[in-house]
């Protein structure tokens, strides 16, 4: 793995995207657990969509921060679920509004699966 620290960062973002209680506590109420000073949905979005190619070409990061095509597929699926919400509702809603959408359940489920698989092959 070329960038294990970026892989850890990905796991942290996937955890945040997979845990509705964390999202409510940290992103909405600003009471982050476990020594996290601050977190918000925007951080995960920037990592997945802007700082890396995970949203546009996750397979290009195999050997860099992902181990195989399965991991690439799972992360791409998370990005697709988020992009669907952005396409439908726009980019300007609050974290609380996004996580309250019925479609957000798909983000939670896909992020949970991706987190479980990637963390188990860590």
Query: Structural domain boundaries of the chain?
Result: 4-120
More confident residue, 122 or 116: 116
pLDDT confidence bin for 36, thresholds 50/70/90 = confident
Residue whose entry in the numeric block shows the structure tokens 């860590």 = 122
Give this prediction's pTM: 0.95
**Cα 89 versus chain centre, distance:** 18
Closest CA to 51 of 38, 64, 36: 64
Q: How far is CA 113 from CA 5, 29, 36, 94, in A?
A: 21, 25, 23, 25
CB atoms within 10 A of CB 44: 24
pLDDT confidence bin for 113, thresholds 50/70/90 = very high
Q: What is the pLDDT of residues 38-64, one digit of tens each?
A: 899 999 999 999 999 999 999 999 999
């Amino acid at each position: 793995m070329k960038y294990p620290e970026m892989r850890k960062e990905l796991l942290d973002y996937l955890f945040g995207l997979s845990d509705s209680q964390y999202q409510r506590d940290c992103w909405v109420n600003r009471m982050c657990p476990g020594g996290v000073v601050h977190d918000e949905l925007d951080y995960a979005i920037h990592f997945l969509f802007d700082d890396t190619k995970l949203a546009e070409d996750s397979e290009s990061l195999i050997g860099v921060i992902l181990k195989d095509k399965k991991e690439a597929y799972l992360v791409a699926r998370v990005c697709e679920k988020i992009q669907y919400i952005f396409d439908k509702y726009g980019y300007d809603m609050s974290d609380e509004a996004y996580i309250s959408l019925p479609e957000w359940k798909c983000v939670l489920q896909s992020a949970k699966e991706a987190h479980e698989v990637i963390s188990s092959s860590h």
